[in-house]
Amino acid sequence: MINYFTDKMEKCWLCPKEFNSRTDLYNHVISKEHRRQSVYCPWCPTEKTFTRVTDLNKHCNSRHFVEVNCLPKMFLSLNNCFYFAVYPQDYARLIKPQLFESSIAMDARRIMMQWVEKQHFNPALRDNIRKGWKAGLQSRINELENGKEEKENKKRKREAEEVKPSTEVKEIYSNTITNDTKRPKHAFQTK
């Protein structure tokens, strides 16, 4: 089936399946088949992951209330949880990451790196997370640039397709206007 808003199918990059909407694709990617939108809890002493950000929110509000309560409300938003993603590059394909320079993104990275250090300081995990952030953000930047290029190409195409009157048509039109001014105002008037 075709997504009538975009006239194209949403394709899964992990398998050959296609979906009508981005929401259907998201639900597929978080399913047991892939689980590519999973996020870590950055406060649990052991490595604990959640398939959905809403599940992480529920967990944090019940188990880590003191830590979460002092953070901004949007800290555990879908966009900011990019920094807690198990697979950041895949996460960024469907969810727009919080801006890297924003204060809540900086807090998320700081908390995540503190969590990694508590995990018996696993340098491979730290490096994988940082590489994932970089790749996810870069893929998002590339998407935005491709979108801008696509918009510019569509604009150029529209401009090229516009019918521009030739100089002859302009002359005929201007002559008609000048001849009309010489005629009487009403058709039934005579000299």
Q: Does residue 1 carry a pLDDT above 50? A: no
Higher pLDDT, 80 or 176: 80
The tokens describing 191, both together, are 């000299």
d(C-alpha 105, C-alpha 177), whole Å: 64
Query: How confident is the prediction for the chain on average, in pLDDT?
Result: 81
Phi, psi (rounded to 5 degrees) for 19: -135, 155
Nearest to 52 by CA among 38, 67, 64, 72: 38
The pLDDT, as a whole number, for residue 83 is: 95
CB 61 within 8 A of CB 55: no
The pLDDT, as a whole number, for residue 49 is: 94
Domain ranges (residues) in the chain:
1-34, 37-144
d(C-alpha 22, C-alpha 110), whole Å: 31
Higher pLDDT, 12 or 147: 12
